[in-house]
Amino acid sequence: MIAVFLVNSLIVMVAVIIHYEFLYRLTLLLPRIQVRHRFRIVLGVGGALLAHAAEVWIFAFAYYLMHRAGGWGYLEGNFNGSLMDSVYFSFTTFTTLGFGDIQPHGDLRFLTGIESLTGLVLITWTASFLFVEMQRFWKPR
């Protein structure tokens, strides 16, 4: 159980660090770009989406590796064990959409729960970041 906690904590910390770095770099970059002020928001949204995609892939690699390794649990249902199925499962879990066509078993269940919580927090963080950036750059001419 300690190993599950440590591995899950490490995965979450990597996702949070990636998110922090993306948003921090966007904060530094957006004021420097010589484009119309409202287009900066579009770039901010694009950067945030890239951050979320990278974070989903981090969780997907974890699912893929844990599913293949013994003792971590497994995914079943509409799941063939491929990396792309792991990415699909991770996207639906991260966004809390959860279609339910893939079910986790064993210790993988803990990672799915923490991924949903992490996705909710990071998506909210992105929304707050974009709100502040819009206040900064979304000014009338």
Query: 3-state class of 75 per DSSP?
Result: strand
User: For 100-115, b where at least 16 C-beta lie within 10 A, e where not — what string?
Assistant: eebebeebbebbbebb
Count of structural domains, the chain: 1
Mean pLDDT of 90-106: 95
Residue 38's domain spans which residues?
2-137
Yes or no: say if 103 and 76 are a contact pair by the CB < 8 Å rule.
yes
Q: What is the CATH number of the domain that holds 123?
A: 1.10.287.70
What sections of 1-141 are H helices per DSSP? Answer: 2-29, 37-68, 83-94, 108-137
Output 7 or 36, whichever has higher pLDDT. 7
Over residues 53-72, the pLDDT tens digits come to 999 999 999 999 999 998 99
> Cα(118)–Cα(11) distance, rounded to whole angstroms?
10
Percent of the chain with pLDDT over 90: 82
Note the pLDDT of residue 141: 58
